[in-house]
Amino acid sequence: MKVAPTEDETRRAGPSPRLELSGIRRSFDGREVVRGVSLSISTGEVLCLLGPSGCGKSTTLRIAAGVDRQDAGEVRLGGQVAASGATFVPPERRSVGLMFQDFALFPHLKVADNVAFGLKGGAAANGARIGELLERVGLSRFHDSWPHELSGGEQQRVALARALAPRPRVMLMDEPFSGLDNRLRDGIRDETLSLLKEEGTAVLLVTHEPDEAMRMADEIALMRDGRIVQSGAPYNIYTAPVDRAAAAFFSDIN
Ligand code: ADP
Ligand code: MG
């Protein structure tokens, strides 16, 4: 028999993780590409899912977002089941923000209207929030500009402001900085991180670049062939890789 926890037990256990995946599996054409992935991310925490191309990172993120569905396992958001065998909450009802490398701005909308896109009432009803976000990404002066008037890095910062505007509890980011040129990348990574921390968002950041994970993660989950082979604090993973392949993967950090 399952007994509900007492109030005291609930308090001791603390709040539920914002995002929890347990035992996630996914096959395409008879080949299993995600093979039992479990992870958990709390408020204000950045977890980097790090691994080589093709290891199943994006598939895992898409399942967390609800744009794909697992064959087995469970997705929970804030302690509530979002996807299991019996339950499926669609992406637009998950309170998750999404950012991808090629998640372009809407070219026919001005910067402020892009930021307002996910907000009820549009730019007219959300002036304060739009102003606050544009200021925090350093782009107030572009409020009334068109996307094509901005550089790639500036556009990516607008995309970040747009993703954060509805105050999602969880942000899912798939290689969001890969399209940026090296010169800009570090600055934008740092800005993004400080904004996410200020907002207290739980972040799942997918990347194949060890230096990005080292720079941004509170915790790294190292993925290979559909499985998480090691997880822990960046320093621990870097200094005590689980095997030679993990060591080799980190060896080209400069
Ligand atoms: P990563 O993001 O780590 O590069 P992916 O999750 O995109 O890896 O892909 C993992 C594997 O699953 C790859 O071999 C890829 O070709 C395959 N795959 C991903 N999505 C599909 C799909 N919709 N149909 C068929 N195969 C897919
Ligand atoms: Mg990918």
Instruction: Tell me the pLDDT tens digit for each residue of 146-166.
Output: 999 998 888 988 998 999 899
Q: What is the enclosing helix (H) or strand (E) of 47?
A: strand 46-50
Residue nearest (by alpha carbon) to ligand 1 atom 26: 28
Rounded to whole angstroms, the Cα distance separating 6 from 9 reads 5
From the CA of 174, which ligand is nearest?
2
Taking 70 as the threshold, does the pLDDT of residue 12 lie above it? no
163 Cα: distance to centroid of ligand 1 (angstroms): 24
d(CA 189, CA 205): 11
Pair 212, 180: CB distance under 8 Å: no
Q: What is the ipTM of this complex?
A: 0.99
For residue 112, give the nearest of 97, 89, 134 by alpha carbon: 134
pLDDT of residue 5: 66
What is the rounded (10 degree) CA torsion for 122, 180, 238, 231? 30
The residue written with tokens 């907002």 in the block is 199
> Euclidean distance between the first and final Cα of the chain, in Å?
55
- Alpha-helical segments (H) within 165-209: 182-199
What is residue 78's predicted lDDT score, i.e. its pLDDT? Answer: 94
Measure the CA–CA gap between 166 and 143, rounded to whole angstroms. Answer: 18
Type of residue numbered 222: L
60 CA distance to ligand 1 centroid (A)? Answer: 10
**Residues 46-72: what's their mean pLDDT?**
97
Task: For the chain, give the percent of residues with pLDDT over 70.
Answer: 93
CA of 3 to the centre of ligand 1 (A): 40
pLDDT band at 249 (very low <50, low <70, confident <90, very high): confident
Specify the 3-state DSSP secondary structure of 3: coil
Helix/strand number for the chain, H first, E second:
10, 10
pLDDT greater than 90 at residue 118: no
Mean pLDDT of 18-26: 98
What's the rounded mean pLDDT across residues 176-189? 84
For the CA of 62, the nearest ligand: 1
With a CB cutoff of 8 Å and minimum separation 6, the contacts of 131 are 140, 143
Lowest mean pLDDT, pick from 89-93, 118-122, 200-204, 235-239? 118-122
Nearest bound ligand to the CA of residue 29:
1
For a pocket test of ligand 1, which of 31, 59, 223 has the largest count of ligand atoms closer than 8 A to its C-beta? 59
Nearest CA residue ID for atom 13, ligand 1: 54
How far apart are alpha carbons 48 and 124 in whole angstroms?
A: 36
Residue ID of nearest Cα to ligand 1 atom 27: 28
Ligand 1 centroid – CA 97 distance (Å): 21
State the angle between helix axes of 182-199 and 152-164 in degrees (0 to 180), rounded to the nearest 10. 10
Confidence of residue 185 (pLDDT cuts 50, 70, 90): confident
Average confidence (pLDDT) over 5-33: 85
From 46-55, 153-162, 174-183, the region with the lowest mean pLDDT:
174-183
Mapped onto helix, strand or coil, the DSSP state of residue 21 is strand
Q: How far is the CA of 121 from the centre of ligand 2 (A)?
A: 34
Instruction: Round the average pLDDT of the chain to a whole number and report it.
Output: 91
Comparison of pLDDT for 56 and 176, the residue scoring more: 56
Q: Residue 254: is its pLDDT beyond 70?
A: no
Q: Which residues line ligand 1 (CB under 6 A)?
A: 28, 33, 51, 53-59
